[in-house]
Amino acid sequence: MTQIEEVSIEDIRHLVSERAINGETMLLNMGPQHPSTHGVLRLLLELDGEIVVNCIPDIGFLHTGVEKNMEAKTYQKAEVMSDRLDYMNPIGNNLAFVMAVEKLVDLDVPPRAQAIRVILAELTRLNSHLVWIGTSSLDLAAQSMFLYSFREREQILDIFELVSGQRMMTTYLRPGGLWRDVPVEFEAAVRAFLKIFPKRIDEYESLLTKNPLFQDRMYGIGKLTREDALSYGITGPILRASGVEWDLRKKRPYSGYEQYDFIVPTRTEGDNYARYLVRVQEMRESVKIIQQALDKLPMGPVRSDNRKFVPPPRSEIGVSMEALIHHFKLWTEGFPAPVGSVYNAVESPRGELGVFLEGDGGPKPYRIHWRTPSFENLGVLPVLAKGFLVADLVAIIGSLDIVLGDIDR
Amino acid sequence: MDNKLEKIVKTLQADFGAAVEEFRGEAHVTVPAGRIVATLELCRDQLGFELLDSLTAVDYWPKELPRFHVIYLLTSVSQNLSVAVHVPVNGDQPEVPTVSGVYASANWREREVWDMFGIRFAGHPDPRRILMPTDWEGHPLRKDYPLGYEEPQFTFNFDEIDLRKPSPKE
């Protein structure tokens, strides 16, 4: 028989107002099984009528100890867990992880692999934004939007399946390059998607952008100032909607982003509507990046030929003794990384996704810390929600675009 | 390290006697626990580091003095620079002053470090666990905390393992 523990008000006395103790305002649970919390998020709300006085997020329901588990695995094996963090952005997580490993062991990546990484990372961004636009408008009762956006998302997942054999948990990137080259059908599949997608974005916009019902729920709701955004460590589209032009793809180009021509959409209003406009504009920019990367996709190898870190191709193993030894060593022991710590960050659809990696000379990470953007982005919710209606709170959570797997790790 | 960052690191060195290391082009600055609030205030107000990217810790068990490093990753959006500030913490009574008054994002990250490493943050406004259940014992990311596993049960030893299997909330 499960024992139900009673939680006393003393534990949270410092978080609620005096009126909640007197019983003037109401304490109400929202979640953890609430459809608009996008996962298992529990919010403890202090309500005055329908107005939110205090909002206390309670997280950790999806905590799986990913950091602890990764410390017990070799660098190659730990990568598999990275997909499961932010499950809307699997290739972005792979990218953050393999780039941190490459930085730690000082490994180069061939240009073709870099370009394919960019194409896939941008497709993942579209995938994530499509889920966001679908689910967040579903919260506002725009049900058809959800069906349209998932129709296009399906096409992206098909491309992932084509290259990696998996629709969501791809684990396609490797330290030093890719698992293997993309199949010949890849280019045609991406071009077919690029051909229809800009028109589909116009379609979404015609449904939402000028829609008065949608605007009523978005204009001026959940305003975030520039100072608050920076102090709360907000990054990504939310920061850019508050007037700070900060995009790691532009400011600290990685994986060859400096070759592509794109703009960083920024707004100054900082409300739900600004965040919506920034993300929609970002989708258009992503299409531009994929188009350019595909047009000048270089030929060549997709893996580094540094055999200390990258396994040799199958064809070499049969004829070369060294190749066989390297293969054996890599798959039994893994590769050793030097002593020292690095921090590597990439721009995920939600903001700065960083990996802090510390090596101890062995084949396993001594410490790996995931700086996941949703964690910081949810931290600002109490500030945003204060003084708005419960119905607006739903719209605000939607506009923050949180992924609970990313928060709880 | 580029020139701008070098100047900033020099300032920290002069003001706080900070030790500086460089690895793969990243600057790591070490300051004592007592000076961390002043260091971060200086970084935010005068050196232009607006963003506390992350706050985490590393456990060097069985080393005791110092056992932990608390790491503050700072970014300057205006100058496009980053620096990591390390604070060594001893194992017998791990405690660091809170910086949640300097950067608001430190509030949750410090709760995470307390939850995972058992490092206290003196003066923290909301010192509860954040990821683990409130009645959890131990701090999972410490190196002396074992990584749990489940014994596989087969037909010949099913009952035997069933007896010693831990069940939740017992």
Confidence of residue A5 (pLDDT cuts 50, 70, 90): low
At B169 the pLDDT is: 47
At A34 the pLDDT is: 75
At A7 the pLDDT is: 66
Q: What is the pLDDT of residues B45-92, one digit of tens each?
A: 888 898 898 899 999 988 878 889 999 999 998 888 888 999 999 888
What is the CATH architecture of B3-164? 2-Layer Sandwich (3.30)
ipTM: 0.86
Kindly report the average pLDDT of chain A as a whole number.
89
CA gap A106, B26 in Å, rounded: 13
Q: What is the pLDDT of residues A196-218, one digit of tens each?
A: 999 999 999 998 888 888 888 88
Residues of A within 8 A of B169 (CB-CB) are 2-3
B80 touches A: beta carbon within 8 Å: yes
B101 touches A: beta carbon within 8 Å: no
Q: Where are the domains of chain A?
A: 66-305+335-408
Confidence of residue B170 (pLDDT cuts 50, 70, 90): very low
> How close B1 gets to chain A, by Cα (Å)?
14
Three-point CA angle A232, A233, A237, nearest 5°: 110
Three-point CA angle A391, A373, A12, nearest 5°: 55
CB pairs under 8 A between A and B: 97
In CATH, which superfamily holds the domain spanning A66-305+335-408?
Cytochrome-c3 Hydrogenase, chain B (1.10.645.10)
**CA-wise closest residue to B98 among B43, B55, B50:** B55
**CA-wise closest residue to B168 among B146, B150, B143:** B150
Beta strands in B77-147 (DSSP E): 81-89, 95-97, 120-122
**CA-wise closest residue to A176 among A273, A268, A56, A313:** A313
Touching A: B residues 51-70, CB under 8 Å: 51-54, 56, 58-59
Burial of residue A210 (CB within 10 Å: 0-12, 13-18, 19+) is: exposed
pLDDT at B43 over 50: yes
CA gap A96, A117 in Å, rounded: 11
pLDDT at A332 over 60: yes
Q: Are the C-beta atoms of A311 and A305 separated by less than 8 Å?
A: no
> How close B90 gets to chain A, by Cα (Å)?
18
**Is A2–B169 a contact, with Cβ atoms under 8 angstroms apart?**
yes
Mean pLDDT of A128-150: 89
Mean pLDDT of A167-174: 89
Q: Which residue from B28, B105, B109 is facing A231, i.e. has the nearest CB?
A: B105
Mean pLDDT of A70-87: 89
Residue tagged 């990821």 (tokens): B131
Q: What is the pLDDT of residues A8-34, one digit of tens each?
A: 777 777 888 888 778 788 888 887 877
pLDDT at A328 over 70: yes
Residues of B within 8 A of A356 (CB-CB) are 54, 56, 71, 73
Beta strands in A12-112 (DSSP E): 26-30, 42-48, 51-58
B164 touches A: beta carbon within 8 Å: no
CA gap B24, A379 in Å, rounded: 31
Confidence of residue B3 (pLDDT cuts 50, 70, 90): confident
CA gap A31, A41 in Å, rounded: 6
Question: A372 vs A36, which has greater pLDDT?
Answer: A372
B125 touches A: beta carbon within 8 Å: yes
A56 touches B: beta carbon within 8 Å: no
**Single pTM value for the model:** 0.90
CA gap B113, A34 in Å, rounded: 28
Comparing A17-21, A395-399, B32-36, the range with the smallest average pLDDT is A17-21
Residues of A within 8 A of B123 (CB-CB) are none
Q: What are phi and psi of B122, to 5 degrees?
A: -65, 130
Residues above pLDDT 90, as percent of chain B: 21
At B17 the pLDDT is: 72
